[in-house]
Amino acid sequence: MSSDCIFCKIANKELNTEFIYEDDKVVAFNDLSPQAPVHFLVIPKKHYSSMNDITSKEAFGDIFSAIPKIAEKLGIKEYRTVVNTGVSAGQTVFHIHVHVMSGREFTWPAG
Protein backbone atom coordinates (compact mmCIF):
# COMPACT_ATOMS: atom_id res chain seq x y z
CA MET A 1 0.00 0.00 0.00
CA SER A 2 1.10 3.51 -0.76
CA SER A 3 -0.02 5.83 2.04
CA ASP A 4 -0.72 8.76 -0.31
CA CYS A 5 -2.48 6.73 -3.04
CA ILE A 6 -6.21 7.47 -3.33
CA PHE A 7 -6.92 4.05 -4.87
CA CYS A 8 -5.07 2.29 -2.03
CA LYS A 9 -7.28 4.20 0.39
CA ILE A 10 -10.38 3.15 -1.57
CA ALA A 11 -9.29 -0.50 -1.73
CA ASN A 12 -8.58 -0.50 2.01
CA LYS A 13 -11.98 1.06 2.77
CA GLU A 14 -10.44 4.18 4.25
CA LEU A 15 -12.71 6.26 2.00
CA ASN A 16 -16.44 5.77 1.73
CA THR A 17 -16.75 4.22 -1.73
CA GLU A 18 -19.55 1.93 -2.84
CA PHE A 19 -18.06 -1.17 -4.49
CA ILE A 20 -19.91 -2.81 -7.34
CA TYR A 21 -17.60 -5.82 -6.92
CA GLU A 22 -15.07 -7.06 -4.41
CA ASP A 23 -13.07 -10.21 -3.95
CA ASP A 24 -9.86 -10.92 -2.07
CA LYS A 25 -7.65 -9.39 -4.82
CA VAL A 26 -9.60 -6.58 -6.54
CA VAL A 27 -12.38 -4.05 -6.11
CA ALA A 28 -14.53 -2.26 -8.66
CA PHE A 29 -16.40 1.01 -8.35
CA ASN A 30 -18.06 3.56 -10.60
CA ASP A 31 -15.86 6.23 -12.16
CA LEU A 32 -16.39 9.72 -10.72
CA SER A 33 -16.20 11.25 -14.22
CA PRO A 34 -17.98 8.71 -16.41
CA GLN A 35 -17.27 8.78 -20.13
CA ALA A 36 -20.12 6.36 -20.95
CA PRO A 37 -23.46 5.38 -19.41
CA VAL A 38 -21.62 2.49 -17.71
CA HIS A 39 -18.09 3.37 -16.60
CA PHE A 40 -16.39 1.63 -13.72
CA LEU A 41 -12.83 1.00 -12.59
CA VAL A 42 -11.28 -2.29 -11.54
CA ILE A 43 -8.23 -1.99 -9.30
CA PRO A 44 -6.05 -4.50 -7.49
CA LYS A 45 -5.94 -4.21 -3.72
CA LYS A 46 -2.16 -4.44 -3.93
CA HIS A 47 -0.45 -1.26 -5.09
CA TYR A 48 1.16 -1.21 -8.53
CA SER A 49 1.89 2.25 -9.91
CA SER A 50 1.23 1.22 -13.50
CA MET A 51 1.09 -1.75 -15.83
CA ASN A 52 4.88 -1.50 -16.05
CA ASP A 53 5.15 -2.50 -12.38
CA ILE A 54 3.22 -5.77 -12.70
CA THR A 55 5.57 -8.71 -13.11
CA SER A 56 3.24 -11.63 -12.42
CA LYS A 57 0.55 -13.03 -14.64
CA GLU A 58 -1.51 -13.66 -11.52
CA ALA A 59 -1.95 -9.92 -10.95
CA PHE A 60 -3.21 -9.46 -14.51
CA GLY A 61 -5.42 -12.51 -14.11
CA ASP A 62 -6.95 -11.16 -10.90
CA ILE A 63 -7.92 -7.92 -12.61
CA PHE A 64 -9.07 -9.28 -15.95
CA SER A 65 -10.91 -12.33 -14.64
CA ALA A 66 -13.08 -10.05 -12.49
CA ILE A 67 -14.25 -7.93 -15.44
CA PRO A 68 -16.55 -10.53 -17.09
CA LYS A 69 -18.07 -11.34 -13.68
CA ILE A 70 -18.86 -7.67 -13.12
CA ALA A 71 -20.19 -7.25 -16.66
CA GLU A 72 -22.51 -10.23 -16.17
CA LYS A 73 -23.69 -8.83 -12.82
CA LEU A 74 -24.47 -5.51 -14.53
CA GLY A 75 -26.11 -7.19 -17.53
CA ILE A 76 -23.66 -5.90 -20.13
CA LYS A 77 -22.24 -8.05 -22.89
CA GLU A 78 -20.23 -5.51 -24.88
CA TYR A 79 -17.75 -3.15 -23.32
CA ARG A 80 -14.45 -1.39 -23.82
CA THR A 81 -11.51 -1.84 -21.47
CA VAL A 82 -8.76 0.77 -21.24
CA VAL A 83 -5.51 0.81 -19.30
CA ASN A 84 -3.56 4.07 -19.42
CA THR A 85 0.13 3.67 -18.60
CA GLY A 86 2.08 6.87 -18.01
CA VAL A 87 1.30 10.56 -18.14
CA SER A 88 1.38 10.93 -21.93
CA ALA A 89 -1.03 7.99 -22.23
CA GLY A 90 -3.53 9.70 -19.94
CA GLN A 91 -2.81 8.04 -16.59
CA THR A 92 -3.75 10.44 -13.79
CA VAL A 93 -3.89 8.11 -10.78
CA PHE A 94 -0.73 6.08 -10.34
CA HIS A 95 -2.29 2.86 -9.12
CA ILE A 96 -3.04 0.54 -12.01
CA HIS A 97 -6.70 0.55 -12.92
CA VAL A 98 -8.78 -0.71 -15.80
CA HIS A 99 -11.57 1.48 -17.13
CA VAL A 100 -14.57 -0.56 -18.27
CA MET A 101 -17.12 1.35 -20.34
CA SER A 102 -20.37 0.37 -22.01
CA GLY A 103 -23.76 1.73 -23.01
CA ARG A 104 -22.74 3.70 -26.08
CA GLU A 105 -20.94 3.12 -29.36
CA PHE A 106 -17.19 3.66 -29.32
CA THR A 107 -15.03 4.69 -32.23
CA TRP A 108 -11.44 3.83 -33.08
CA PRO A 109 -8.93 5.27 -32.74
CA ALA A 110 -10.00 6.48 -29.34
CA GLY A 111 -8.30 9.86 -29.76
Q: Which positions are catalytic?
A: 97
**Other beta carbons within 10 Å of 17:** 15
